[in-house]
Structure 1
Amino acid sequence: MTLPEVQNAILDRKICILIPTYNNGKTLKRVIDGVLDYTQNIIVINDGSTDSTAQILAGYPQITTISLPENKGKGNGLKTGFRKAKELGYNYAVTIDSDGQHYPDDIPVFVQALLAEKEDVLLIGNRNMSQDGIPKKSSFGNRFSNFWFWFETGIKLEDTQSGYRLYPLHKIPKKYYTPKFEFEIEIIVRTAWRHIPVKNVPVKVLYDPAERVSHFRPFKDFTRISILNTILVFITLFYIIPRNFINDFRKKSFKRFLKEDVLESDGSNRTKAFSIALGVFIGLSPFWGFHTLLVISLAVLFKLNKVLAFVASNVSLPPFIPFLIAGSLFLGAPFVHGESNILNQELNFDLVKNNLLQYVIGSLIMATTMSAASGIGVYLFLNKLNPDSK
């Protein structure tokens, strides 16, 4: 795109540039001057800086400046900027860090990628984390973040930690719960949960130890990020996955759901069969209360079909529980000593508690047997329907 085309697209699409800053006086002017080559739609959030930031910003009367009285974290600064951007009528915001690691001349990359999309999208700059000068802790942190983002959303990205992003302001959540660096994880996960595409675009990156000031506190911030990911994983397993499954089922007839989401879902017939076998095994296992967590975690670990595994694990729905308990106690009876006759006893959880070893052994026998039978049966069935799928 030519410079005039980029500038016109920024005006037409109502795009602004957000620059959160905290004590980056060495690089702030260079960043602002670079952005001004493309637009004056700039909002700088001075997050309680105590260096020369205020004096630098005073030299740019043509841009919007928000000065916060004290430093409250990058997440709080971005939230403040988003609110101001929407007040000013912008539809999109490109966020660029003020520490000099991002190149303003990559703004056209975001603009062009936005124009190529038919729907709103959240774009994240994909940095080359293998280049010389990139701290090893940054590369590890990015891989760590990429994995959990994929686990929580099903979207595979190469870079989820870059602060160089384009946000669709009217599609991101309105309320947030984190104020600091972890905010940038919360917002992309929760936006993806709203079925907004999240994609990478290639950008350059500069790490200059002589002028770059990082405010990331390895222990404190990594701990906060880990706690956030724990919460997001819990929500994913117990709300997002069941919600999406139910919504997909409601939108389609049973025949269409079976065809599109089961028979033609990703993976070979063998993978689908193993997924169902895993779900049946976990569903019949004695790990009550942890079935969903186990089946999704293992499906991710072994790269199986999470939807099929989750559906199959529901073999332990409440109506079937009395039969599962009775069957497990019956199968476990030959392996324990003492009274094991369950036919003359009331079938309840006290019976399970009093015959726990018998129940555990029997449930594992049942889980293993039914898992193998269901896996083989499903594989033969799918192979008959789709013999070309291997």
Structure 2
Amino acid sequence: MQRLNCCVIIPTYNNAKTLSGVLDGVMAYSSEIIVINDGATDETASILKNYPQILQVHLSKNEGKGKALRTGFKTALEKNYDYAITIDSDGQHFPEDITVFLDALEKEGTKNVLYIGARNMEQSDVPGKSSFGNKFSNFWFWFETGNWLTDTQCGYRMYPLKEIQKLKLFTPKFEFEIEVIVKAAWEGTLVKNIPVKIHYGDAERVSHFRTVPDFTRISILNTWFVLVAIFYIKPRELYRKLRKKGVKKFLLEDLLGSTDAPIKKALSIALGIFIGLSPFWGFHTLLVLFLAFVFRLNKPIAFAFSNISLPPFIPFIIFFSIRTGSWILGEELIFSIESNITDFNFLTNLKAYIVGSLTIASLGAILSGGIGYLILTFFGKRKMVVNNG
């Protein structure tokens, strides 16, 4: 603990029955302990008087686990700690697993890492709602960050405090533990699971997670994060990659050099072109990333090609879409402003635009996907010949 400049933070609220056992267990492994009493109304304050050697922060009222953890991080930073291991005070975690976090950090290639304990969610005493909630949370974390974890809800964690300090964190309650790992991953912190033991069977264990309100807050937070990921994070990552590598290198490494099969790459190109030429303006990014996820296609490729509808090209795309739709429908184009207002001819033009847009998008997808497949297959065979030669 001293070598890694690490402390243990224990947020607690009305866990008087288990608190002493947790404190005694943790003290066997570390004396660097910070307890945050989150406005407990039971015997917590009296129990903590028996541990004067432990740094304690007493909040005047209960403000939620997120606020308690943020207070703990702030206190730890003021004491110049680099890392903090957080452990719940309800007795579900095993203090001996502190060594698991320390060993993992010493072996890790980077020190900018956030470890989350991975519980065995299949053991018999794990509540069904906890298992379901964890799977739900794991899925959205993967969607938002591209990183798949087996457990995103365990409170037994190790935080890199200097990196956490850089994040703008707002949520006050249980949803904080989702907010912090998503934002940390977005800013380049490696988020990983390490296995820990768990104990749910203790009759004295008290959980303060309220299923409906807390799950609702977590769902609202994930909804917001999905939107941020689609409209900002994913495009930002692609832009950074393009800017760093340049278009040519990006195409060679991320398009031609991807391990995906040529057919998967070609379908990703086709999807991007189809969405980019489709009439769903304002939703192109959302649609292309969602469909790429649903059909398990290459998201960077699909997103890159969906940008065929760059602003300078939009007037031409709309014009040729209307012309194509009018030809297909056998209807005359009427561009007169007066006729559009008085005779509602804009509805005819709109119908022609939608039909033409979907037609051009479909043809563009088929053509680009086919050409892409031929080119990718050719370069793939050429690369194999070079490597074998």
* TM over 0.5, shorter chain: yes
Shift of 1:137: 0.9
Residues 1:168 and 2:160 aligned together:
yes
2: CA distance between counterparts of 1:16 and 1:182?
23
Deviations 1:135-192 (A, max 9, x none): 1111111111001101110001000000010000001244312100000000000000
2: CA distance between counterparts of 1:279 and 1:335?
24
Residues 1:191 and 2:153 aligned together:
no
Tell me, yes or no, if the aligned pair for 1:352 and 1:359 is still in contact at 8 Å.
no
Match of 2:377, as an amino acid? N
Residues 1:139 and 2:126 aligned together:
no
Quick one: which of 325, 342, 350 aligns to 1:356? 350
Match of 1:48, as an amino acid? G
Partner of 1:31: 22
Partner of 1:316, secondary structure, is coil
Quick one: which of 40, 48, 54 aligns to 2:45? 54
Shift of 1:322: 1.6
Partner of 1:340, secondary structure, is coil
2: CA distance between counterparts of 1:279 and 1:110?
42
Shift of 1:384: 0.7
1:30-179 matched pairs, under 5 angstroms: 30-119=21-110, 120-172=112-164, 173-179=166-172
Structure 2: gaps (5+ residues)? 385-389
2: CA distance between counterparts of 1:175 and 1:303?
32
1:260-271 matched pairs, under 5 angstroms: 260-271=253-264
2: CA distance between counterparts of 1:63 and 1:260?
53
Match of 1:258, as an amino acid? L
Partner of 2:332: 339
Partner of 1:6: none
TM-score, scaled to structure 2: 0.93
Partner of 2:273: 280
Q: What do you get for the CA RMSD once the two structures are aligned?
A: 1.9
Partner of 2:237: 244
Return structure 1 stretches of 4+ with deviation > 6 angstroms.
Answer: none
Deviations 1:281-309 (A, max 9, x none): 11111111111011111111111111111
Tell me, yes or no, if the aligned pair for 2:84 and 2:158 is still in contact at 8 Å.
yes
1: CA distance between counterparts of 2:150 and 2:208?
23
Match of 1:332, as an amino acid? G
Tell me, yes or no, if the aligned pair for 1:152 and 1:189 is still in contact at 8 Å.
yes
1: CA distance between counterparts of 2:149 and 2:47?
36
Quick one: which of 272, 279, 289 aligns to 1:296? 289
Quote the sequence identity (%).
56
Match of 1:356, as an amino acid? L
Partner of 2:192, secondary structure, is strand
Match of 2:88, as an amino acid? D
Structure 1: gaps (5+ residues)? 1-9
Tell me, yes or no, if the aligned pair for 1:266 and 1:305 is still in contact at 8 Å.
no
Shift of 1:209: 5.2
TM-score, scaled to structure 1: 0.93
Residues 1:15 and 2:25 aligned together:
no
Match of 1:289, as an amino acid? G
More moved, 102-111 vs 169-178? 169-178
Shift of 1:273: 1.1
CA pair 373-338 structure 1, distance change in 2 beyond 3 A: closer
Deviations 1:67-92 (A, max 9, x none): 10100000000000000000001000
